[in-house]
Amino acid sequence: MAGRRSFDGVERRGLMFVLSSPSGAGKTTLSRLLMERMKGLRMSVSVTTRPMRPGEVEGQDYLFVDHARFEEMVKRQELLEWANVFDHRYGTPRAPVEAALSAGQDVLFDIDWQGTQQLREKARADVVSLFILPPSAADLEKRLHSRAQDSNDVIRRRMSRASHEMSHWAEYDYIVINHEIDEAFAEVQSILKAERLKRERRTGLTTFVRELQRQLEK
């Protein structure tokens, strides 16, 4: 896989940075902050069958398709992962992700545990997974109500589903408890920075070290 040069001039391979959490625990806000404040990061735009919400932009928030088109994408293996969530389907288009990784770009994913498992099965070495937890059940419910996006019935379903989603926490590489958004962002940012510096991802290190040795042996 080709790579691009990082800030220190050493080529490295791109990574897939996955954020998961129960609805309302903060992954969407953290994703937005990462995109605003971290260079070299590209958001993976999911395809979905759910209706567009007020304020959402086609191609920026999601790619909105009908069920027939989604089924076609699954059959043609055009999705890296896909899952059913609250009667709607979500998936990750394969082509743009593979193009970004080949160019040495990092790709940010806002997906659930099902999608994370599928990504890990396909490309374990390139996946860094992080699960966001709320500080308490009461705080999670408060956040869901404050979003004013869902009915009380949907909020009850989301709270019920949250327990099931949290049961997969141990499958993730990192866990962040979102007590306060700035503190949680600092932790997430530190994880991404460290993962970018891993030796095995820095494909240009061998060449860099050999050149250093050559200079020293003159």
User: Cα 26–92–10 angle (5° rounding)?
Assistant: 80
What's the predicted TM-score (pTM) here? 0.83
- Nearest alpha-carbon partner for 86 in 33, 115, 49, 131: 49
pLDDT, position 144: 73
Question: In this model, does residue 31 exceed pLDDT 60?
Answer: yes
CA angle 4, 6, 8 (to 5 degrees): 140
- 165-215 pLDDT, tens digit each: 999 999 999 999 999 999 999 999 999 999 999 998 888 999 999 999 999
Average pLDDT over residues 128-150: 81
Cβ(96)–Cβ(46) below 8 Å: no
**Residue keyed to tokens 């699960």:** 131
Could you give the percent of the chain with pLDDT greater than 90?
Answer: 60
Question: Residue 1 pLDDT more than 50?
Answer: no
Please state the domain extents for the chain.
4-216
Angstrom distance (rounded) from CA 139 to CA 7: 39
Distance CA 130, CA 174 (A): 5
Question: What was the pLDDT predicted at 162?
Answer: 85
CA 135, distance to chain mean position in Å, is: 21
Single out the residue of 109, 135, 117 nearest to residue 171, CA to CA. Answer: 117
CATH superfamily label, 4-216: P-loop containing nucleotide triphosphate hydrolases (3.40.50.300)
| Residue among 94, 88, 124, 129 at smallest CA distance from 110 | 129
Residues 71-84 have pLDDT tens digits of 999 999 999 999 88
